[in-house]
Amino acid sequence: MSLRMVLLGPPGAGKGTQAERLAQHLGLPRIVTGEILRTAVKNKTSLGVEAQRYMDRGELVPDQLVVSLIQEQLGQLNGQHGFILDGFPRNTEQAQALEEFAQIDLVLLLDLPREEVVRRLSARRTCERCGRIYNLVYQPPQRAGICDACGGQLYQRSDDKPDVVARRYDIQYNQEAKPLVESYRKRSVLVTIDGDGAIEEVFERILRVLRSHK
């Protein structure tokens, strides 16, 4: 399938959760900026050391670091025509840079109220080995603290503390991403999906959009 897709939305809206399902369903690779940055932080690479300062404060990592990272990742797709971008672009500058090396067919905006964002993120756990996402309330693992898929340990992201979540929502989403959302809306590539509801329900809403997009 050839579909070049971007997932947008506030922190905790379910972008990662839905991107994993979509990638499997459509047979497309996904590029998850947050996951790449967290791996760089864990491995203490020069990118990771630089990025951590911003991530810990709930701020965007500087555009030039992220843009070259995405360009490199897309360059490695070798003949694959479609992809799912989760976490990029996040502002109009990144979107302009992206246009220089890739066209986008569809942008899905997963919408979720702030109160639900805070509720979901306080209970999120992530596998340190494979990156699978869980939720202690809505999507718990079968064995406490252990990933169902690979047996890795689950951990709580350091940027899921309430004050950092608030900054991510208010600064990254409400200030930086809003003009981006409006620019994609004007170009008629944006579809808003209600992110409130069970995971399968939201996935079905996305599939409905994809069916009508063909």
Smallest gap from residue 202 Cβ to ligand AP5 (A): 5
Among residues 15, 30, 125, 132, the one annotated as catalytic is 15
Q: Is 15 marked active-site?
A: yes
- CB nearer to ligand AP5: give 82 or 197: 197
For 88, the token pair is 């990029």
| Token pair of 160 as six digits | 């899921």
Q: Of 120, 124, 125, 132, which residue is the catalytic one?
A: 124
The residue from 30, 125, 132, 168 that is catalytic is 168
90 is annotated as an active-site residue: yes
Which pair of structure tokens corresponds to residue 131?
A: 């990156």
Catalytic-residue membership of 167: no
Pick the closer one to ligand AP5 by CB: 17 or 109. 17
Distance CA 102, CA 71 (A): 9
Site residues, ligand AP5 (CB under 6 A): 9, 11-17, 33-34, 37, 54-55, 58-61, 66, 87-88, 90, 94, 120, 124, 133-135, 138-139, 159, 168, 172, 197-199, 202
For ligand AP5, give the closer residue by CB, 152 or 197: 197
C-beta atoms surrounding 153 within 10 Å: 12
For 143, other C-beta atoms within 10 Å of its C-beta total: 10
Query: Which residues, in sequence order, are CB contacts of 154 under 8 Å at separation 6+?
Result: 125, 126, 127, 128, 134, 141, 145, 146, 147
Whose Cβ is closer to ligand AP5: residue 119's or residue 185's?
119
* Catalytic option among 4, 30, 38, 90: 90
Concerning whether 125 is annotated as a catalytic residue, the answer is no
Nearest to 19 by CA among 126, 110, 141, 137: 110
Respond yes or no: is residue 143 known to be catalytic.
no
Paired tokens of 99: 């246009």
In this chain, which residue has its C-beta nearest to ligand AP5? 34
Look up tokens 């897309």; give the residue.
Answer: 74
In the complex, the smallest distance separating the C-beta of residue 117 from ligand AP5, rounded to whole angstroms, is 8
Q: Are 105 and 5 in contact (CB under 8 A)?
A: yes
In the block, residue with structure tokens 């003949």? 79
Name the residues annotated as catalytic: 15, 90, 124, 157, 168
